[in-house]
Each structure stands twice: as C-alpha cells, then as structure tokens.
Amino acid sequence: MNSEMVFFWTAVAFYGLSAFSYIFGLISMKEKLFSAGLILSFLGLAGNVTAVAFRWIKGGVLPFSDISESITSGVLIAIAIFLIVQASSKRLRAIGALVMPVAFVLIGWAGTLMKEVSGQIAPSLQSYWLWFHIVGASTGFGAVLVAAGTGLVFLLKERYKTGIYEKLPDPDSLDNLNYRFVAGGFIMFGLMLISGALWSNQVHGKYWNWDPVESWSLVCWLIYGMFLHLRITMGWRGRSLAWYSMVAVLVMITSYWGIPFVVQNFHTGFRIEH
C-alpha cells in the first residue's frame, strides 16, 4: 500500500472512530466522548489532507477528476467547515453525531471506488470555471451538512432537557444557525450552477443540457430555495425546518454522488466522450 493510501485509510479510520465517539457520546450522554470525537475528526482531517496532497503531487493535477476524488474533496471541505464551527462554539459539539457518520460513510465508499492516480487532467477540465464549480459544490455540501447537524441537535434539544442536552444552545439559536448554513449552502449551490453552466457553454456551446446531475442539482437548489421561502415568506420555524434540512441533505448527497454512480452521463467520472 502506498503512502497516499495509508493516509487515506487512516483518515477513514479516524473518521469512523470519531463517528462512533459522537454517536455513543449522544447515547451515553458523556461529553468526554464528544471531545474525543472532535480530536479524532481533526486527526482524520489531517490524514485526509495529506492523502489529497500526496495524490496531487503524484499526479501533478488537483485530484477531483473522478467520483472518488470528488467525494474525498467534498468530505474534506465539509469536515473543515464542521471543525471551524466546533472551534467557534463548544456548545455545538453534538452536531458531529450527524456530520461525522455521513463523512465516514461517504469517504469509506470513496475508498472502494479509488482508481490509480491520473497523471493528466482531461482537456475539458482545464477551465477556470471548474474551480468555481468545485468550490461552490464542496462548500455548499459542507454548509448544508452542518445545517442538517444543527437540525438534528434542534430535535434532540426539543425532546430531551437534561444532561448534556441542557448545555446545547437554545432552540432559537439552533434554528437560526440552521437557517444561516442553509442560506450559505444555497449561495454556494448557486455559484456551482452558474459556473457549471458557463463551463458547459465553453465546452459544448450549451449552457444547460438537462444532464441527470444538472437536473438533480437544480432540484436540490430549488429544495433549499423552498426552505428559505418557507422560513422567510411562510414563517416556518423550528421542528419542521429541522426535519426539512435533514431530508434535503439526503437528496443533495444522492444528486452529487448517487446519480453519477447510477446513470451514465457527463458527470460520470467527470469524463467527456469525444
């Protein structure tokens, strides 16, 4: 096993241990397990970054050209956002109970799909719009995953009042945080869609192809747009939106990585057939 894979699977192991720490911390109501989960997630991120760096150096191109690389970079950004949130408030530790298991499952799956490093980036991917597209997609994913985590914590806080739940932020703050992360994700998804359209226009002369991933990304964007409308226009708050953000992130994950895995299309392995 080469160095890249050693770091990659170490990251997967740390993410897995972190996920278990968060889940058992929640079940056993032991805050120390949350702290352990946090340290493990940080170690996992270090492994993740190192593995990506090794792959980058080995191939000479930023690794995001196939589905496993896309998942790996998406998880990396999501965990980085999660750790920034953790650093900003100790009271938000519990969101790791949703963020870390999702990250663990995704990156583990990416490991099973990992291919030999590509030494050359496909000509069609040599566009500056791609950077905006990937930054928008990864950051958007990280934001809505954290939003879903705050949604879960909101529901727990509403149901349980004692023990570690007592220390969680009040429901209004959680609800507000949920909204802010969804709004951030909505903006980043917007950037992803626009840059994707410009990129597609540069390569194909068509800004929109109704490609399955395109259609699902639009659906995701509309779903988060609905979230914002329900909150701002219809006055929805609290539990309903907490559930909404948790279901919406599943649709988002399906659209990003489920659809290209199942349906042959432009985004499948991000190949261009000519």
Nearer to another protein, 2 or 264 (CB): 264
Nearer to another protein, 76 or 192 (CB): 192
Torsion of CA 61, 65, 70, 74, to 10 degrees: 40
Cβ 210 to another protein shortest distance, Å: 4
Nearer to another protein, 105 or 183 (CB): 183
Cβ 96 to another protein shortest distance, Å: 24
- Site for another protein, rule CB under 8 A: 120, 122-124, 126-127, 176, 180, 183-184, 186-187, 190-191, 193-194, 197-198, 201-207, 210-212, 215-216, 218-219, 222, 226, 233-234, 259, 262-265, 272, 274
Q: Please tell me the distance from the alpha carbon of residue 20 to that of residue 22, in angstroms, as a whole number.
A: 5
Find the radius of gyration of the CA atoms of the chain. 19
CA neighbor of 153 nearest in space, from 137, 170, 139, 136: 170
Q: Please tell me the distance from the alpha carbon of residue 67 to that of residue 84, in angstroms, as a whole number.
A: 26
Cβ 221 to another protein shortest distance, Å: 11
Q: Please tell me the distance from the alpha carbon of residue 144 to that of residue 184, in angstroms, as a whole number.
A: 8
Cβ 70 to another protein shortest distance, Å: 18
Q: How many CB atoms lie within 10 A of CB 80?
A: 16
Is there a contact between 154 and 178 (Cβ–Cβ < 8 Å)?
yes
Nearer to another protein, 10 or 202 (CB): 202
> Phi and psi (nearest 5°) for 259?
-65, -50
Nearer to another protein, 35 or 265 (CB): 265
Cβ 250 to another protein shortest distance, Å: 14
